Amino acid sequence: MKTALHLQDADAFYEQLLDAHQGLSMEASELLNARLILLLANQVGDAQVLKECIEAARQTAPE
Amino acid sequence: MAASYAETPVTNEFAQGRGYVLPEYPFVAPPEIASGEVSHHPIVIVGGGLTGLTMACALAGYGIRAVLLDEDNTVGAKGASSRGICYTQKSLEIFQRLGIYERIAAKGIQWSVGRTFAGKDEVYSFDLRQQSGYNLSSQPPFINIQQFYIEAYLVDRIRQLAHVELRWCNRVTAFEQNNECATLAVTTPAGDYRIRADYVIDATGAHSPFRKWVGASVTAKKGDDRWCIADVRFTHRPPTERHTWIEAPFNENRAVWQHLMGDDVWRIDYQMPPDADPEYVSREDVVRDRLARQFGADCQVEIVWVGPYAYRSECIDRMRHGRVFFMGDAAKVVSPFGARGGNTGVADADNLAWKLAAVMKGRAAPALLDSYHEERHEAARQNVLVTNRTARFLRPAPGIEKLFRDAALGLARQHVFARQLVNTGRMAVANSYTSSSACEPTGGQSVQNVSFQWSDGSRGTVNDLLQWADGRLLVLVFGESTPSALARLRALGETAALRSVQVVGTDDNPAAREHVRDPQGHLQGACHVFGHAWALVRPDSYVAATGESIDATLVHAIGKALGALEESE
């Protein structure tokens, strides 16, 4: 799993992500996120990396 | 009168303690009032803020006459207000050329380390000195200083240079323009008069009346984010570093900025609840409570200035309307994040000043003036885009936007990549020009004020070369050149407003009389070229074009940079 920055343009990506959610209900947003995760996971492909990402996401406890 | 938020960080403020004493300038009755005649001036600048004064000073430096009209008799806003505080390397390089940098450096505070926190955790930090881009210039990455100091230094310098007449307490009340000229109606304590101009610079700020007068369209966006500044002096235990908090536990988990300016004054900028009451948040006891929550009940602070503000984002769609050029906040208004307000006003002025000077002196075609919009509107749009992103991170819409911010902050505590998502402001840069009719695709980038060696071994800087070129284009030819190439260059210099210098390494043999040495390649790097090359540098320290051999491409680039070529090739 990469932990260093790999995004070409982090700010532009973040803006695109928020824009994609604009005007959606919370339920519709959750569904969008779920679809997006599955799409991105297929881009990654590597089973070991996906496993580590899932673990990292679970470990990062919200404050 | 009901208290209200200033739309830029001014007004509804109070000052106490030693506060600030602003200089006052004398009102002199303009000659037009006694004579009753309408005078004609090539250039009238309206507004004596940071941008208007930079424009006036730059024109004066090129020896161009102008009149500046300002509605009050001091710098800074009325009262002892603070406003802008952070000046970028590019602005400082410009101020060096204008002759006020030493005073800014002596009064201001240099900084390069910034730390960002969420709750108690540091999520992000940077040291600009470690970033290779910054450390080659003769000016530091940033200096923090109260805006009115720079404005006062500019006034002093303008008076020293002459050429520009500063008219205080002169308020413009009406404007019209036609094929002949622009006409401005002006009111003063001694009466009203009218003045004509070939070109008008609108540097009147965020509430520009010219937008309506010329029918300018503006793209705008307004939010509910509210802030309250406390500029304070500590008599006991001052902070030590520039810090930002996205979620400050001592400010109801809202954002806080803390940075030092001149005179040991710290600017503490607190994010308030959305649509908070400005009167309440700026009440002295409320401000003191807030400071005590951050710095401890025993902190001893003198409050220099308090000002609640809201921000909006606005960008005029055309920066030139006939004879009127919009610059600074008159052209675009952005949130303060990243120091992209005042600094871009300074760059606007520096961009137009040399072009106007070149046109006035007959060195460039009037068409060059259109490149002001092309270049500075691209910069304005970029600055609006970048500051809007920061504003959205700092004040996410409730729901999914807040959720993503929580996720980004959570990941940033453990994973380096996510720190790049934490957006407390992307510091202003010298914007590149990618769609200018005055630049080739190989040009459009800023040139840092790096050092080299004069032929006698003494140290010189890019700004020294620009001063030597005195408002003309500058061709730097890197590496050893053939005599015939240098002869072609000399011939070019006789037909265009151009000066040229050969730049050689330590062991190379210079063939040109005008040559300098660049032992470490800093000058070459600053000009964005490698090996045998030329760079066409403009008076605003941007490369108009770069290339390899001294041939038709250089001739073409020079024509373009002087507005002399049609767009049809």
Give the lowest-confidence range in A35-44, B378-387, B473-482, B534-543.
B473-482
From residue B514, give the alpha-carbon distance in Å to each of A22, B45, B262, B285, B529: 60, 37, 41, 65, 20
Give me the count of residues in chain B.
569
User: Of B409, B410, B421, which is closest to A14 when you measure between CB atoms?
Assistant: B421
Mean pLDDT rounded to a whole number for chain B: 91
From residue B177, give the alpha-carbon distance in Å to each of B150, B192, B228, B322, B402: 32, 19, 41, 8, 49
Q: What is the pLDDT of residue B223?
A: 85
Strand pairing report for B109-111 and B113-118: unpaired
| pLDDT of B558 above 90 | yes
Rounded to two decimals, what is the model's pTM?
0.93
Q: Rounded to whole angstroms, how far apart are CA atoms B30 and B525?
A: 49
Listed by number, the residues of chain A in 17-46 with a beta carbon closer than 8 Å to a beta carbon of chain B are 17-18, 21, 24, 26, 29
Q: Which residue has the higher pLDDT, B130 or B555?
A: B555
Q: Rounded to whole angstroms, how far apart are CA atoms B563 and B357?
A: 13
Q: What is the pLDDT of residue B79?
A: 45
Q: Does A58 touch chain B (CB under 8 A)?
A: no
| Angle B85-B226-B242 from CA coordinates, rounded to 5° | 35
Q: What is the pLDDT of residue B537?
A: 98
| pLDDT of B82 above 70 | no
| pLDDT of B5 above 60 | no
Tell the residue number behind the tokens 């992500």, with chain if given.
A17
Q: Which residue has the higher pLDDT, B262 or B433?
A: B433
Mean pLDDT rounded to a whole number for chain A: 93
| Averaged pLDDT, B192-211 | 96
pLDDT tens-digit map of B129-181: 777 677 899 999 999 999 999 999 999 999 999 999 999 999 999 999 999 99
| Averaged pLDDT, B447-466 | 96
Q: What is the pLDDT of residue B127?
A: 83
Q: What is the pLDDT of residue A61?
A: 59
Q: What is the pLDDT of residue B18?
A: 54
Residues in B closer than 8 angstroms to A15, CB to CB, are: 389, 392
Looking at chain B, the whole-number percentage of residues with pLDDT higher than 70 is 94
| pLDDT of B256 above 60 | yes
Read off the pLDDT band of B235 (50, 70, 90): confident
pLDDT tens-digit map of B377-387: 999 999 999 99
Domain ranges of chain B: 31-108+138-216+317-368, 451-561
Whose CA is closest to B537, among B487, B506, B503, B508? B503
Q: What is the pLDDT of residue B118?
A: 86
Residues in A closer than 8 angstroms to B408, CB to CB, are: 14
**Strands of B218-234's sheet in order across:** B121-127, B113-118, B242-248, B254-260, B265-272, B218-234, B301-316, B332-333
Residues 6 or more apart whose Cβ sits within 8 Å of residue B393? A14, B246, B405, B422, B423, B424
Tokens of A1: 């799993």
Domain ranges of chain A: 24-63
Listed by number, the residues of chain B in 164-183 with a beta carbon closer than 8 Å to a beta carbon of chain A are none
| pLDDT of B496 above 90 | no
| Averaged pLDDT, B410-430 | 91
| pLDDT of B492 above 60 | yes
| pLDDT of B211 above 80 | yes
Q: A11 and B389: CB-CB below 8 Å?
A: yes
| Averaged pLDDT, B469-476 | 96
Residues in A closer than 8 angstroms to B399, CB to CB, are: 26, 29
**Strands of B109-111's sheet in order across:** B86-88, B142-144, B109-111
pLDDT tens-digit map of B22-44: 889 999 999 999 999 999 999 99
| pLDDT of B7 above 70 | no
Read off the pLDDT band of B251 (50, 70, 90): very high
Q: What is the pLDDT of residue B245?
A: 94
Q: Does B421 touch chain A (CB under 8 A)?
A: yes
Tell the residue number behind the tokens 């006036």, with chain if given.
B56
Read off the pLDDT band of B567 (50, 70, 90): very low
CATH of domain B31-108+138-216+317-368: 3.50.50.60
Q: B413 and A29: CB-CB below 8 Å?
A: no
| pLDDT of B13 above 60 | no
Q: Which residue of B has its CA nearest to A2?
A: B417
- Containing B280, the helix (H) or strand (E) segment is helix B278-281
Bridge partners of residue B127, in order along the sequence: B113
Q: Which residue has the higher pLDDT, B13 or B426?
A: B426
| pLDDT of B1 above 50 | no
| Averaged pLDDT, B287-295 | 94
Q: Which residue of B has its CA nearest to A18?
A: B401
| pLDDT of B20 above 80 | no
pLDDT tens-digit map of B50-81: 999 999 999 999 999 999 999 999 886 654 44
Q: What is the pLDDT of residue B125?
A: 83
Q: Rounded to whole angstroms, how far apart are CA atoms B485 and B201?
A: 41
Residues in B closer than 8 angstroms to A11, CB to CB, are: 386, 389, 423, 426
Q: Rounded to whole angstroms, how far apart are CA atoms A38 and A52?
A: 15
Residues 6 or more apart whose Cβ sits within 8 Å of residue A20? A32, A36
- C-alpha dihedral (B321, B364, B538, B438), degrees to nearest 10: 60
Q: Rounded to whole angstroms, how far apart are CA atoms A24 and B414?
A: 30
| Averaged pLDDT, B504-532 | 90
Read off the pLDDT band of B10 (50, 70, 90): very low
| Averaged pLDDT, B212-224 | 93
CB contacts < 8 A (A, B): 57
DSSP string, B229-243: EEEEEESSS---SEE
Whose CA is closest to B182, among B31, B354, B321? B321
| pLDDT of B11 above 50 | no
What is the CATH architecture assignment of B451-561?
3-Layer(aba) Sandwich (3.40)
CB B400 within 8 A of CB A21: yes
Q: What is the pLDDT of residue B12?
A: 40
Read off the pLDDT band of A60 (50, 70, 90): low
- Containing B301, the helix (H) or strand (E) segment is strand B301-316
